[in-house]
Amino acid sequence: MFGYVKPFKPDLRVCEFDTYKAVYCGLCHQLGSSFGPFSKLTLSYDFAFLSLLQMALDPADPQFSKCRCMANPLKKKVCCTENAAQRFSAGCAMIMAYYKIKDDLRDHGMGRKLRAVLCYPFMARARKKASRTFPQVDAVMAAATRAQQQLEDQHCASIDRAADPTATFLQQVFAQMAQSDAQRRILGRMGYLLGRWIYLIDAFDDLESDLQRGDYNPLALQFGLQKGQPVDWQTIGASITEICNLTVGQLAASYQLLDLYHYQSILDNIIYLGFKHTQGLILDKYKGEN
């Protein structure tokens, strides 16, 4: 995922933010423990959300301890200790990172391709290890990648179709966290809507750079945008905001059906405030460019 799913910090209490940081730091340690120190570069807010949600669904109390951080080895930090949710999120992170590297090898400019070539051997080994533990995640990610490549090769101009592979992937990932059939339906719906939102907001975030590089972007095709031509950012932004708001609204409705044992206030913050704040930051980037 891409780092868009994060809390709105000003509205978190100090204890809530400390807990969130402990989960985030714990996931960082889990990545290092499972896949080596280089894997920590794949850490993102999105996987912290995935881990937090899975722990919230488990009646067992998560455990915390103090550990050292590579960024500041002289001072110990509170971290969430290893558990099933952290292992699952770390595995998903490495599998997704591997397929992202493969995409960079295929699609992007020389700088990204060179970085991808350098990272590929490590990512391939880490993905192989993660896929042994989470074969279903690897299988659905591989299928989503193939579907996405086909749509890009076809120059698909439909936002809905272009977002579907990412949405379907997260639908199946979220469903794997379920402990009952009813919970599986709810989580699957949440995952699909989250994947759709992430794809849409990322497409808008990258629209200007994609136009400059000539890379595929369904928004450019849908709105008939061409490199070097004026862009009505306000109109495009209003359209994307409406679609994203509808998607987040449906996601929130599904989220409300879950029975949570922990961290509801933090998850509420992300669902009801974090998405809106992230959208605002990206939309503000284009203000005044018309």
Q: What are 14-73's pLDDT values in tens digits?
A: 999 999 999 999 999 999 999 988 888 888 999 999 999 999 999 999 999 988 877 777
CA 148 to chain centre: 16
Residue 9 pLDDT: 96
Residue 290 located in a structural domain: no
**Using 50, 70 and 90 to split pLDDT, how confident is the model at 228?**
confident
Q: Cα dist. 150→43, 222, 229 in Å?
A: 28, 17, 27
> How many helices and strands (H and E) does the chain possess?
12, 2
Give me the CATH number covering residue 114.
Answer: 1.10.600.10
Give bridge partners of residue 68 from the DSSP assignment. 76
189 found inside a domain: yes
Q: Is residue 3 part of a domain?
A: no
156: in domain = yes
Write out pLDDT tens, residues 163-217. Answer: 999 999 999 999 999 999 999 999 999 999 999 999 999 999 999 999 988 889 9
Q: Looking at the domain assignment, is residue 79 inside a domain?
A: yes
Which pLDDT band, with edges at 50, 70 and 90, does 76 fall under? confident
**Between 53 and 76, where is the model more confident?**
53
134 neighbors 152 (Cβ within 8 angstroms): no
- The answer for residues whose C-beta is within 8 angstroms of residue 173's C-beta and 6 or more apart is 50, 92, 137, 140, 191
Q: How many domains does the chain divide into?
A: 1
- Residue 199, Cβ neighbours under 10 Å: how many? 22
Positive/negative CA dihedral, 39, 41, 44, 48? positive
* Residue 2, domain member (yes or no): no
Name the pLDDT band for 261 (thresholds 50, 70, 90): very high
Residue of higher predicted confidence among 289 and 17: 17
pLDDT attached to residue 289? 60
174 Cβ contact list (under 8 Å, min separation 6): 187, 188, 190, 191, 194
pLDDT of 109 higher than 90? no
Whether residue 4 lies inside any domain: the answer is no
Q: What is the mean pLDDT of residues 148-158?
A: 94
Query: Which residue type, as a one-letter code, is found at position 145?
Result: T
Range of the domain at 217: 9-285
Would you state the pLDDT for residue 107? 63
| Percent of the chain whose pLDDT exceeds 90 | 74
pLDDT (0 to 100) of residue 117: 81
CA distance 210 to 118: 23
- Enter the pTM of the model: 0.93
- Please check whether residue 67 lies inside any domain of the structure: yes
At 65 the three-state DSSP class reads: strand
Summarize the confidence of residues 139-158 as an average pLDDT: 95
pLDDT at 250 over 80: yes
